[in-house]
């Protein structure tokens, strides 16, 4: 049996983690996988998460099964966090999933159940695992232009032109905030225009929101998702708690299906439950329970929001410092886009050869498409990276 298996390509982002670990240089800098790191390079457990976990261990009296869709309180808390009343709660079906990836996978499967021939449109570029899962599910995929290599901003004209090619019933994957891998984001006005085009074409948005709170703030980062949810009869939303709660390994995420009305919501909910049952039965509970406790306890929530804000402001500071160091060294404003980007990532916009040069000669690790995890920097490594970028002729 196993002799018939083909070798599988390594996931490029995850392979970087191994390569970085194996590098003996103590000057190495990890700008690879999307995991938040503090100035000392450590990924901390957030204060509120520690406190909620302690409380949970003390209070929990059973580990028995919960529901196929997970704890309803988690659904309520997350719908509130992401949608904040933008659509009536009765219209939203929700199911907990193993992380944001689980929600993406279940969302795609839901599309496949409803409309097996629907094309799923993704931004070019997008998080590589979007494309990988779509291909794995043998779903038709289309790409809309997104990144302008010259300005390192959004190629909005190209995006709108390509969205006009979608067919009624197609799904359009949009990043709710903090675009991964580029860091370039639509303005509110541009999002409103994109919504109009997708609506006119009869498309259905599928929002991936994995970095709420890492861009312009918890509330501001939800604005695009809310605008989308309130503009359509049907919307899918995959939300991750991995980054903004720092619970990466607990696999905590949720898929929401905004339906036309309550009756349609019930059917959507049955399908979400069914898909969970087919794929893994009950979703992981620990992270979801911790998140629920934080979101519903005023003291824990205030502390979580404060720490998340510290993280966001810290990353913004790193962006500004890097852009200003590059401005000084290059005597130009061609790297100012780094301060404009939002979220954990920025695409530097250089060739795979230069990315490899930065790794080999300077021990700087970034994804092959020149995506940098800004949180991997600190005050000491910013000048090192800036100098390497200039020395490498980027
Ligand atoms: C990333 O983009 O680096 C993260 O979302 C981690 C992952 O699973 O790829």
Place 258 in a pLDDT band, splitting at 50, 70 and 90. Answer: very high
- Give the pLDDT score at 139: 98
Q: Of 296, 327, 358, which one is at a domain's C-terminal end?
A: 296
Is 373 part of a structural domain of the chain?
A: yes
Based on the domain organization, do 187 and 164 belong to the same domain?
yes
CB 182 near ligand 1, within 6 Å? no
Total count of domains within the chain: 2
Establish whether 167 is a catalytic residue: no
Distance (angstroms) between ligand 1 centre and the Cα of 78 equals 21
CATH number at residue 17: 3.90.1150.10
Average pLDDT over residues 335-356: 97
Three-state SS for 217? coil
Establish whether 143 is a catalytic residue: no
Peptide bond into 369 cis (omega under 30): no
Q: Name the residue of 129, 209, 371 to mutate for ligand 1: max ligand atoms within 8 A of Cβ.
A: 129
Establish whether 38 is a catalytic residue: no
CB 180 near ligand 1, within 6 Å? yes
Tell me which residue has tokens 């999002």.
Answer: 191
Is 41 part of a structural domain of the chain?
A: yes
Based on the domain organization, do 123 and 250 belong to the same domain?
yes
Average pLDDT over residues 352-370: 96
Based on the domain organization, do 129 and 75 belong to the same domain?
yes
Which residue has its alpha carbon closest to ligand 1 atom 5? 34
CATH number at residue 72: 3.40.640.10
- Give the pLDDT score at 341: 98
Residue 245 and residue 46 in contact, taking contact as beta carbons nearer than 8 Å: yes
- Give the pLDDT score at 245: 98
Is 52 part of a structural domain of the chain?
A: no
Based on the domain organization, do 188 and 326 belong to the same domain?
no
Q: Of 264, 296, 328, which one is at a domain's C-terminal end?
A: 296
Based on the domain organization, do 79 and 188 belong to the same domain?
yes
Which residue has its alpha carbon closest to ligand 1 atom 9? 13
> Of 94, 210, 375, 388, which residue is the catalytic one?
210
Q: What is the ipTM of this complex?
A: 0.94
CA–CA separation, 38 and 148 (whole Å): 30
Structure tokens given for 55:
């409380």
Which among 257, 226, 276, 216 has a CA at the least distance from the CA of 65? 276
Based on the domain organization, do 151 and 256 belong to the same domain?
yes
- Within the chain, strands assigned E span 29-30, 92-97, 120-124, 141-145, 147-148, 153-154, 171-175, 204-209, 235-240, 253-258, 345-347, 364-365, 371-373
Based on the domain organization, do 227 and 311 belong to the same domain?
no
Which residue has its alpha carbon closest to ligand 1 atom 4? 34
Residue 374's domain comprises: 11-45+301-391
Tell me which residue has tokens 């049955």.
Answer: 270
CA–CA separation, 134 and 106 (whole Å): 11
- Give the pLDDT score at 266: 98
Structure tokens given for 99:
């992380």
Distance (angstroms) between ligand 1 centre and the Cα of 151 equals 25
Based on the domain organization, do 30 and 78 belong to the same domain?
no
Based on the domain organization, do 243 and 266 belong to the same domain?
yes
- Give the pLDDT score at 177: 98
């Amino acid at each position: 049996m196993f002799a018939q298996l083909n070798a599988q390509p390594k996931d490029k982002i995850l392979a970087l983690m191994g390569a970085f670990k194996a590098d003996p240089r103590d000057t190495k800098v990890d700008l690879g996988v999307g995991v938040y790191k503090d100035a000392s390079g450590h990924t901390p457990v957030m204060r509120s998460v520690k406190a909620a976990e302690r409380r949970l261990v003390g209070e929990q009296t059973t580990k028995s099964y919960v529901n196929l869709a997970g704890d309803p309180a988690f659904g309520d808390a997350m719908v509130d966090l992401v949608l904040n009343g933008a659509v009536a709660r009765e219209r939203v079906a929700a199911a907990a999933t193993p992380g944001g990836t689980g929600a993406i996978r279940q969302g795609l499967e839901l599309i496949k159940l409803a409309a097996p021939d629907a094309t799923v449109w993704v931004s070019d570029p997008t998080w590589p695992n979007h494309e990988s899962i779509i291909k794995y599910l043998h779903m038709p995929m289309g790409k809309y232009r997104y990144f302008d290599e010259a300005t390192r901003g959004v190629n909005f004209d190209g995006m709108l032109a390509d969205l006009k090619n979608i067919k009624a019933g197609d799904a359009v994957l949009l990043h709710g905030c903090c675009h991964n891998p580029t860091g370039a984001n639509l303005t509110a006005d541009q999002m409103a225009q994109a919504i109009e085009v997708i609506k006119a074409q009869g498309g259905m948005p599928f929002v991936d929101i994995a970095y709420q709170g890492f861009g312009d703030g918890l509330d501001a980062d939800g604005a695009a998702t809310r605008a989308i949810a309130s503009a359509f009869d049907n919307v899918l939303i995959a939300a991750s708690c991995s980054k903004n709660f720092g619970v990466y390994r607990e696999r905590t995420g949720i898929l929401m299906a905004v339906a036309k009305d309550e009756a349609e919501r019930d059917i959507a909910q049955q399908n979400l439950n069914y898909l969970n049952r087919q794929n893994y039965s009950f979703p992981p509970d620990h992270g979801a329970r911790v998140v629920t406790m934080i979101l519903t306890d005023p003291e824990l929530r205030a502390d979580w929001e404060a720490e998340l804000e510290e993280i966001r402001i810290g990353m913004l500071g790193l962006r500004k410092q890097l852009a200003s160091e590059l401005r000084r060294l290059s005597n130009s404003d061609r790297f100012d886009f780094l301060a404009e980007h939002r979220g954990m990532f920025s695409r530097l916009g250089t060739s795979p050869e230069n990315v490899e040069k930065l790794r080999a000669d300077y021990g700087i690790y970034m994804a092959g498409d020149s995506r940098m995890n800004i949180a991997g920097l600190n005050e000491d490594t910013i000048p090192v990276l800036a100098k390497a970028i200039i020395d490498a002729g980027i």
